[in-house]
Amino acid sequence: MSISPGPYLVVAAALFTIGAVGLLVRRNVLVMFMCVELMLNAANLSFVTFARKLNDIGGQSAVFFVMVVAAAEVVIGLGIIVAIFRRQSGATADDLHMLKG
């Protein structure tokens, strides 16, 4: 017998919160991006777990699409970061506060 879905979900939840806290705490833009990837992975893990539990292949298809979109997102995001860092090297997330009200 394999392991029931419960622990997998707990691992996914822990991964998600670590990624979220990292996003909130780190200032380096690339590290923040990596934390986003952590969160996406946690979601993928949950999807796969539920696909096995509900015996539905649709969960794995969702993971497929999540990965595609994550790839596209990383491409664009890094392009933006490159564009920002051309102006001002060594910038952190805190330096981009021009929308202060």
Question: What residues from 3 to 22 belong to the interface with other proteins (CB under 8 A)?
Answer: 3-4, 6-11, 13-22
Number of residues near other proteins (by CB under 8 A): 83
Find the binding residues for other proteins in span 33-72 (CB under 8 A). 33-35, 37-38, 41, 44-45, 48-61, 63-65, 67-72
Q: At what angle do helices 58-87 and 29-54 cross, to 10 degrees?
A: 180
- Any contact of residue 23 with other proteins (CB under 8 A)? yes
- Report the nearest approach of other proteins to the CB of residue 62 (Å): 9
Measured distance CA(72)–CA(85) in Å, rounded: 20
State yes or no: residue 26 binds other proteins (CB under 8 A).
yes
Taking CB atoms within 8 Å and a gap of at least 24, the contacts of 26-30 are: 26/93, 27/92, 27/93, 27/94, 28/92, 28/93, 29/81, 29/84, 29/91, 29/92, 29/93, 30/81
- Binders of other proteins among residues 69 to 98 (CB under 8 A) are 69-76, 78-83, 85-86, 89-90, 92-94, 96-98
